[in-house]
Chains A and B, each alone.
Chain A
């Protein structure tokens, strides 16, 4: 057994580190570090830099413009990018629609749409969940009725992340009412400026605008915008759920979060001594470190299996639960480390008036915002159902 990266992988890691040090704009990494919201232009600028290097579409095969990375290489990039305070790549076009089109799309769809994802012409968003179809996604009710060479779509989507920046949306829609609910779902592409589409912001618990509701009223969508066969949408959605998930543990984010927390322990004074010398705090920090070290190895075990041609399968459910809980607990201890000053609204007190260490201003906001981690992408309860079926055969 060898837990270390190969010489090639280590060389790749150095290459990624150098690239991030040289090419990641400091104004963008500074926004990430201090918890300022990134604008659309920040994302697009970073995407253009990655595209220039050929590293943008990390999950795509080389013949479609991907870098041809192995799962371990993708993991190395994710980890290094998080540690360098690079923006999280918005996944909807790059890691979701792109792979779907490559697997299920027509040659015309691939030819038309993939380059527009790569050069950031199209910002895609996702229309999956509905107000009454969350964990029970297959019960979705947005209907698409065939009318000549169009579908007429009516319904409502919700939790559409960063839809306010998007040009286009991919939706799961109901095209058949009979049979199992999963059997009547199709995967449809729409332009957000099509008549009948209205997007409204949803404000999140900490006050940010990250997700949206999308109302669809008699939207006419060309049949050519169907991906895959009619009623094949559930198969595509399931494909995506496995594809989405090699970085599901968020090892890089957890590693960065724990390093920052350790630094807070040296910066914050509590009861006359650095917080890091407080035995209760120190013990909590070590507990988190042990969980992170274990999760890193679980993650590498999964990557190694995938690299050898296996499917992440149940391991991705396990890592989703473990990773999100760990990140939430790191957020929690970070917020607690700041004491009463954690409650100040982010960035209202800067400079001489700052009451928390530089970069920690949005800690409580992140804590609340990251409660989403265990809810989205298939809630942790749904992941437990998947694991229970596997363990118990039930």
Chain B
């Protein structure tokens, strides 16, 4: 047994931590994350140059990482910095492009061409295999029609990776965003998304029968979200203990009140539970145990994250309710990330369904 992080990962994590801390200081975060294009294109370039994108791809596909533990190291830093760069959207794209061996696309995306995946639809976002979007190939190439919803990272993206049904088979298509109707909007926890309306839109076929690859990519994304939550909880619990130490009421620090001590201890317990189940999921990703471990992790982490967010706001009092206070933005991210890629309740149902299928 060994819970130490490899030297390579440690170095990458430390370099990433410095880069994100320099780029995403609280003032920048409080404005740029909520202003179109809802991230910093220069920061994206720096991430590509540092090799963060290549670290999400395995060696067979030209990267130098791509395991669950790599994602754990990277996204913990993303969470610690409350970084709104659309790294999750690109992780999903890199995973799908790897699964269909789209070598040229992989290379350009690792180099900083920003690709995002459009997989969910407005009427039933969790039903990612039951698609209304259709595609057909022919003499003039592929065309796709349908609507994709809450496409994270959509504003300003260079490439859309779209799922659609061609007859009864799920296909993966590359679409130029300038060929699609992109309706961009901001998100309450920072970052942006798009409603993507496709109407006989030209597309390039990337792969067919990609349902299994989509599930695998979403699981990698769930590990990333869990890791992001752990990093964000680390930061927010620290900010909360700092506040309790510094803030005095009734002539003494809040940290001296036992009722509050117990509550912040409970938050640290939530955080460590979240960290442990995330390590489990990261280690199991891409193994037969992966889907179940990932669903358990996403379930538990979603609950821990919300509790830490809500309690941190409460323990900060009024200041925790203000836009000016960086912790408020961390709290919003912790609450809202649960809704991405299937929320806590949905994960429970996935586990139940997996067990029923195995029985």
Interface residues of A (CB under 8 A from B): 129, 132, 134-136, 139, 158-159, 202-207, 269-272, 278, 280-281, 328, 332, 335-336, 338-345, 348-349, 353, 355, 364-365, 367-368, 371-372, 374-376, 379-381, 384
Contact = CB atoms under 8 A, between A and B. Distances in A.
B349 A280 contact: yes
Contacts of A336: 338-339, 343, 345
B323 A269 contact: no
Q: Chain B interface: which size bin?
A: 35 or more
Contacts of A340: 120, 125, 149-150, 339-340
Given A139-B249, A280-B345, A280-B348, A344 B318 contact: no
A367 B349 CA distance: 25
A64 B331 CA distance: 46
A205 B126 contact: no
B328 A205 contact: yes
Given A203-B322, A270-B126, A379-B314, 20 more contacts: A132-B248, A134-B249, A205-B313, A205-B331, A205-B332, A207-B323, A271-B346, A336-B338, A336-B343, A338-B339, A342-B339, A348-B186, A349-B185, A349-B195, A355-B149, A365-B188, A368-B188, A371-B310, A371-B320, A379-B317
B349 A341 contact: no
Interface of B: 34, 120, 122-127, 130, 149-150, 183, 185-189, 193, 195, 248-251, 259-260, 306, 310, 313-314, 317-318, 320-324, 328, 331-332, 335-336, 338-340, 343, 345-346, 348-349
B130 A272 contact: yes
A270 B122 CA distance: 11
A365 B130 CA distance: 30
Given A343-B193, A344-B185, A344-B188, A271 B120 contact: no
Contacts of B320: 205, 371, 375
A353 B185 CA distance: 11
B122 A203 contact: no
Contacts of A374: 314
A371 B313 contact: yes
B86 to A, nearest CB: 13
A339 B348 contact: no
A205 B124 contact: no
Given A136-B249, A203-B324, A343 B348 contact: no
A376 B187 CA distance: 26
Interface of B is mostly: mixed
Contacts of A367: 335
Contacts, number: 137
B323 A159 contact: no
B107 to A, nearest CB: 30
Contacts of B130: 272
B305 to A, nearest CB: 13
A134 B318 contact: yes
B349 A271 contact: yes
A264 to B, nearest CB: 14
Contact of A205 (B323, B340, B346): B323
Query: Max chain A CB contacts within 10 Å: which of B124, B248, B259, B338?
Result: B124
Nearest to A268: B124
B188 A372 contact: no
A328 B318 CA distance: 16
Nearest to A270: B126
Contacts of A371: 310, 313-314, 320-321
Contact of A269 (B120, B123, B149, B338): B123
A343 B249 contact: no
A283 to B, nearest CB: 10
Contact of B183 (A281, A338, A349, A381): A349
A278 B353 CA distance: 14
B349 A344 contact: no
Contacts of A139: 249-251
Nearest to A356: B122
Contacts of B251: 136, 139
A13 to B, nearest CB: 35
A242 to B, nearest CB: 22
